[in-house]
Structure 1
Amino acid sequence: MSTARENWGSRFGFIMAAAGSAVGIGNIWRFPYTTGTNGGGAFLLIYLAIVIGFGLSVAIAEMLVGRAAQRNPVGAFRALGGGAWPLVGFGGVLTGFVILSFYIVVAGWTLAYIGFMASGSIDTTDPERLSQVFSGFVADPLRPILYSGVFMALTAWIVVGGIAKGIERWNKILMPALFVILLVLVLRSVTLDGAAEGLAFFLKPDFGAVTAGTFYAAIAQAFFSLSIGMGTLLTYGSYLSKQEHLPKATLTVAMIDTGVAVLAGLMIMPAVFAFGFDPSAGPGLTFVTLPAVFASMPFGAVFGVLFFTLLAIAALTSAVSILEPMVSYVVDEHRFSRRKTVIVASLICFALGVPASLSFGIWSGFTIGGRTWFDLVDFLANNIMLPLGGLFTALFVGWAWKRAAYELSNEGALKLPWTPVWLFVLRFLAPLGILWIMASALFA
């Protein structure tokens, strides 16, 4: 039997919490370097088309399932579909474990860089020196694990507080602050000497660089960034009032998410070219390029500490949203206490994060299918598990759940003339697109 569920304190609180789930490391760390490795502006256009074309439709569908059932991922599919459909919910919970195991590793790096910026140990624009600092740190067998442990503990502390006193409270303050800091850093980055080349690379499409890999990288980024396929949107939707205008709320979240991702690209790519970095340098762009930008600015250390603090908090709000579906499932379905559930789930995630961290150092030679452990779980989560979750959610809402359109309209209270288009996307376009992209990723 399900326990009574909390509700969001306000619509603004829900929007900020859902945006906090979507806006995180995926936007500021992953999006710029994924764009850089996939042809710049052409990737940006493809990414936006995927978000609008079916990412938004699947996000609405997932959140709608949660709101209608007022339950966790497993309980929601059991209540609305029965049969084997609860396995989709189980898949979302499992995906969260996998993602959080490597997410806390990268998030731990942001905590470390707060200290690096504050101490002045990376106060240089020398790319070789900054690369050495980054490579040396991530290869250390102990320090990154300790930082990931601290980050996991912070995540657990917030989730223990529940919806109103934990998740909502943090997001209502910190998301607007992150947005303001990003704008300041974008303005500084685009005024650097040589920034124009980076802007052209980021915004001017080069369709000659587009391959099949560009498309599946775009959909993987869209699913990762929008938090589709891991039960996060479903769980957050379960705390919503049934009177909420769900399409508008989801569109707002998607716009905030995409806007921050684009701002992150405008912040990083001009600086990449201004300082002579390789735009396809990978995840080091955030941890190598930005310190160089800060070193060139008046009061750069202050901006650097502030940025990495806010980046860590953005990562924290996302990590909270990934942990919550696991906790919600155990608390709802098995009547365990929230505190004990959070502790056990967090310890499991932390343990799974250890080999991910060691992949950059002493375990870098250990590979499976040519991938380190970190690269393997990253690939599995973003190219298989998240798309599968989105695929089955689209199929469920589009075909199996006959009341979906009625629930979307708030039981007839809203006039939504585009509902047939939404259902068509869920029934045909999204499944076909997701299957094609998954096949491209597996056989590339």
Structure 2
Amino acid sequence: MLALLFKNFIRSKGTKIGLLFLLCIGFISLLIGKQFQDKQQNSIQEAAIYQKEHIARNAEYHKDEIGLLLYYIKFSLVNNTLPINSLAIGQRDVNPSIQNVTIRGLEGQKYDSELNNPNNLLAGNIDFSFVLIYLFPLLIITFSYNIISEEKESGTWKIVATQSQNTFKYILQLFYVRILSLIALLTVLLFTAVLFLNIPLDQSFFIFYGIGILYILFWFAVCFFVVSLQKHSNFNAVILLTIWLFLIIIVPAGINAFIVNKYKVPEALELTLQQRNAYHEKWDMDKNETLEKFFKHYPQFRKYKNSEGKEFNWLWYFAMQQMGDDESAVQSKELEVKLEQRNRAGELIAQFIPTLHTQIQLNEIAKSDLRNQLLFLKETTQFHEKLRLHFYSKIFENAPVDQQKWEDFKVETFTDATTISFGKAFLPLLLFILLLIGFGWRNFNRNVV
């Protein structure tokens, strides 16, 4: 029976067109992922080459004054990009994966990003997660909305009912054939991605694959429930498309608007301007007052004295830079806290919205979510502080430039060590699937097919 049902299903021209269309879009998404992956790898390689040449060139031009040299030199920190990130680009197309910073004021540099076409950012990338979350459900709806109603409307259902000993089992077999076809398509695309994008077959990949299967099963469960109401095909199609529109577009947009209004964050641009204004104000302030604030922050540098009679010295200059960061620290912390609150609120609400939950989990697996970006910003702060502590004493003592081991300063990499919870990833989807199947089964039992 299953073999016959599968032949009848796959023989349909609409089925072939639908599967072929989704397969082609899936391959296009892998090509887009490959382009993104190559761009990231090229950027990292170029950053390493640039930093080496940049430091060597400036060390040659500014041989006599290490303070002036370190005014210009930039050091790079890379947010490690996993191969699986090509399947779920997430926030990586908006937030930079490389931070280039000098030891001057950090807040004016932390939120720098690449220049991108706003129209491209608005449209977003058609990565694999987009294909899975947006397009797979449409094909599932197309295949499932008229499983019973079409035969009832054509008058052939009574023949099926008399020839089948168990009509409910027959309905399950119809769904089974369609589920198998979509999971097979998902499997082909993902294992093609493994070969094409060099994705390792590790825990992250199989959790990604598992979430994809559960997401497909969720939409089949939605269709199963709607079909169990035993309405006309037009009714089923309208209801299912309304549910798709509601879960994919309307609810996420509403939740985003709610979170943005509830946890309002200060603009990063305003924070940058505040840091710069705080720094520029110090040019007109008493130098000793600025230095005293600096020594309270770094008491270990109190032994260095301001050069009397000089209008400018590097101790005072970098003290001004530090004070710009210190005076914007409250706003910087507020921004960090608000973004963390947004992230936590989004993850909590998403547990009750399967589409949102799937998107967040896929991004979390790929290390392209908001949590990863916040961790990267924290690591940037620590990286910048480490550079300051290493170079401040050398600047204040005007250490010889040629005695520094500049070749030791390589591009550093931040690796997100956040672990993935199986329960958090799978449980919400499983609960919704079981709930919808339970209600659908009850409807079928209540209204004999």
TM range (shorter): under 0.3
Query: Scaled by the length of structure 1, what TM-score is found?
Result: 0.23
Say which one has the larger Rg.
2
Query: Scaled by the length of structure 2, what TM-score is found?
Result: 0.22
Which structure is richer in relative contact order (CA contacts within 8 A, separation 6 or more)? Answer: 1
